[in-house]
Amino acid sequence: MLVLCYGIPRSGSTLAFEMVCEILRSAGYEQAFVRNDRIGAQNPKGKSGRNYLDRISKEAIAELVTTIGPSRKIAVKTHGAFTEDLFPWLEELQQKRDLQVIASYRDPRDVCLSLLEAGEKSRSKPVPGSFRRVDSFQTAAQNVKHRIVSFRRWASLHGTLRLNYEIVAFQPDDAIAEIERVLGVTSDHEQVMHRAFDEADTLKNKAKSQRHLEDMDALPRKELTEIFRNFIRKACEEDDQQWYEKFRRKILENRDTSAT
């Protein structure tokens, strides 16, 4: 089984991915290297031990599913989006248990804060990094709006596990139990938490719950709350299954219409 861990950047996606990897290791599934698209020119420090898929395509997913096979369960991280035409096929893979998607997310106001800090850090480097253009809450919000569409697409696939950063970071026992449930495994919770929080090479977010309440000025907080009002309510506060189901039906209806 390919365990594909999608996350909005700066939403705690690396923490969630490391948690998934350690759950699988603890359950007896070695996390062998199968692919890392960031090795080489994109990432001179390419870490071969962290499986990463950059661009989502039918060929890339099919190749990973075949390489991993039915007897192994290996986690691969991605920030990539997929096109709507792949939606039914991905659902079929998930139904057959060849694929399990785990989609992590965070309050977009906190993501914008983290992106802004990443942008400042990126611009201070001799060779600016990928977040260098994020220099205001406005540019951060545009980035997150684009990513939310991708997240909702992954999260609307039947069988996808949605992981809120607030649960992963501050109620890890509950997050681990949910991951175990969808993967059909049991693990050592203490071992998983020690690895994910203390040993893993994550991006080390500030690990503060709802940090926009303290770390963001009132005006940008008000503006971002308005921009992301629907996502905050439907995803972060309610985890509204009907919101995802409505999106799923729209994708499938659009596909049926385009095929006629």
Q: Is the dihedral of CA 50, 39, 59, 7 positive or negative?
A: positive
pLDDT over 90 (residue 119):
no
> What per-residue confidence (pLDDT) applies to 41?
39
Bridge partners, residue 103, by sequence: 6, 162
55-73 pLDDT, tens per residue?
999 999 999 999 999 999 9
Q: Do residues 79 and 50 make contact, with C-beta atoms less than 8 angstroms apart?
A: no
CATH of the domain at 126: 3.40.50
| 11-36 average pLDDT score | 96
pLDDT of the residue at 259: 56
Tokens of 15: 């923490």
pLDDT at 123: 82
pLDDT at residue 104, as a whole number: 96
153 touches 82 (CB < 8 A): yes
181-213, pLDDT tens digit by residue?
A: 999 999 999 999 999 998 876 655 556 888 888
**Spatial separation of the C-alpha atoms in residues 229 and 139, rounded to whole Å:** 18
Domain span at residue 221 reads 2-259
Domain count, the chain: 1
* Among 7-21, 97-111, 132-146, the least confident range: 132-146
pLDDT one-digit tens code per residue, 33-50 = 999 998 653 444 444 468
Poorest-confidence range of 83-87, 117-121, 145-149? 117-121
Provide the pLDDT for residue 255.
Answer: 75
